[in-house]
Amino acid sequence: MQKDRTAIAKKKFGQNFLKDEAVLAQIIQSMPDTPNRIAEIGPGLGDLTKYLVDVKSVTAFEVDTDLCKHLKHQFADAIATEALTLRCGDVLEHWKSELLDEPYDLVANLPYYIATNIILKALADPACKNLLVMIQREVAEKFSAAPNERAFGALSVIAQSVGDVSIVLHVPPSAFEPAPKVDSAVLLISKRSNRNDEGFEEFLRSAFTQPRKTLHKNLTSRYGVAEIESAFSTLELERTLRPHQLSTLDFHRLYSILK
């Protein structure tokens, strides 16, 4: 099964198999030093899994039934010794409130089409303590961007409200087979708390509705002008500020006043 990866890959599952051994080694070296179990989503052909099971206990979630059969055969010994627990099916079906019933770190080469959704669910999951995930570079930059950077937005604020966020590695398309049409990056989020309440995230959606317009203007879709001006005055914010110019802390302060 390992020979013709391009023929194996299924577009509906967004499969791009990571083949670059140097990149795989760097992912392992970047893993958080914790006693936590590892959750791997989309193990594919087991390229990363084979390294993970050597260092920690792993629970892997694979939606592709053909790849599940392959993984059961390839990792029969690891499954027998419980170094690997393989769960076949859609991970979102398993994931109601907590993905696992014990503390875990998410380490995975995530399918691009569900990467943002998976990260947001992990940020909300109290059992998830850290994330080290390969995703599309553009999306990684949205999570890790600092204020005043072009990519800074609601995802940046959500992630940075929860923990420390950084890109640890940029990865070219050539590291995969089949090669994706975009660059990738390995994103590390070390959690300090869990994802914010829904009210705060709705507030952020309003704040970043039209990034090129002022924050004051965007917020008028949700709040009264007098409320906004009072909050801006309290925090000594300029009316001309655009949403990407505010810090994560200032977003929390502003929300606390407006709510």
Any idea what the CATH number is for the domain that residue 27 is in?
3.40.50.150
Domain containing residue 220: 198-258
SS3 37: strand
d(CA 48, CA 211): 38
What's the pLDDT score for residue 15?
59
* Of the residues 191, 216, 236, the one at which a domain ends: 191
Same-domain check for residues 78 and 141: yes
Same-domain check for residues 23 and 121: yes
Same-domain check for residues 135 and 19: yes
53: left (phi over 0), alpha (psi -120 to 50) or beta: alpha
Mapped to the 3 state alphabet, what secondary structure does 133-190 carry? EEEEHHHHHHHHCCCCCCCCCHHHHHHHHHEEEEEEEEECHHHEECCCCCCEEEEEEE
DSSP result, 98-129? -SSSS-EEEEEE--GGGHHHHHHHHHH-TTEE
Count how many domains the chain has. Answer: 2
Same-domain check for residues 126 and 205: no
Residue 259 pLDDT greater than 90, yes or no: no
What's the pLDDT score for residue 222?
94
Same-domain check for residues 82 and 121: yes
Q: Give the model confidence (pLDDT) of 25-68 as tens digits.
A: 999 999 999 999 999 999 989 999 999 999 999 999 999 888 99
Q: Are 19 and 47 in contact (CB under 8 A)?
A: yes
* Of the residues 170, 191, 212, the one at which a domain ends: 191
Buried b vs exposed e over 226-249: b needs ≥16 C-beta within 10 Å?
Answer: eebeebbeeeebeeeebbbebebe
Can you give the CATH number for the domain in which 243 is found?
1.10.8.100
Same-domain check for residues 229 and 136: no
Q: Give the model confidence (pLDDT) of 89-142 as tens digits.
A: 989 888 887 899 999 999 999 988 899 999 999 999 999 999 999 999 999 999
d(CA 163, CA 123): 9
Write phi, then psi, for 211 (nearest 5 degrees). -55, -30
* Of the residues 191, 208, 243, the one at which a domain ends: 191
Q: Are 246 and 160 in contact (CB under 8 A)?
A: no
Same-domain check for residues 168 and 224: no
Same-domain check for residues 48 and 140: yes
Same-domain check for residues 63 and 151: yes
Same-domain check for residues 68 and 21: yes
Same-domain check for residues 207 and 125: no
Q: How far apart are the first and last CA of the chain?
A: 55
Same-domain check for residues 89 and 216: no
Instruction: Quote the pTM value.
Output: 0.90
